[in-house]
Amino acid sequence: MLVRVCSLKDVPENGMIRVDLKGKELLVARIGERVYVADVWCTHEEGDLSLGLLEGDVVMCPLHRARFKLSDGGVLEGPDGEPPESIPRLRTYTVKIQGVDIYIEEP
Ligand code: FES
């Protein structure tokens, strides 16, 4: 099932926002033509990733600098330089763009 998240216009280019989708907090990032949607809470101690740093398609948590790949949620670096295996991967969603709207696939 496709669920509308927000409009493309809501997300600054090369930026990210936090969207509350019926109680589910999501991170929506736009990098050039690409759009990524993931859970907004870091898998370490729930840092708000929308307040972190976006470097290409990698987001860095503002609390302890863990880094996640937005393409698949893979952990590139754990908190405070810990190995990537020290925290779970980030949940990401399949994104569909229809017109100016961003949708995700919900099971
Ligand atoms: S809460 Fe994100 S690295 Fe600690």
Start-to-end CA span in the chain (Å): 6
Give pLDDT tens digits for 75-88.
Answer: 999 999 999 999 99
Give pLDDT tens digits for 2-25.
Answer: 999 999 999 999 999 999 998 999
pLDDT number for residue 52: 98
At 106, is the pLDDT very low, low, confident or very high (cuts 50, 70, 90)? confident
Please work out whether the CB of residue 79 comes within 6 Å of at least one atom of ligand 1.
Answer: yes
pTM of the model: 0.96
Q: What share of the chain is helix, strand, coil (3-state, %, to 5)?
A: 10, 50, 40
Give the residues across from 68 on adjacent strands: 59, 75
Whether pLDDT at 107 is above 70: no
Domain that holds residue 42: 2-105
Please work out whether the CB of residue 44 comes within 6 Å of at least one atom of ligand 1.
Answer: yes
Tell me the average pLDDT across 44-66: 97
Give the CATH number, domain containing residue 98: 2.102.10.10
Give the residues across from 49 on adjacent strands: none
Domain total of the chain: 1
Show the tokens assigned to 63.
């609390």
The protein residue with its alpha carbon nearest to ligand 1, atom 4, reads 64
Show the tokens assigned to 12.
């600054």
Show the tokens assigned to 7.
């409009």
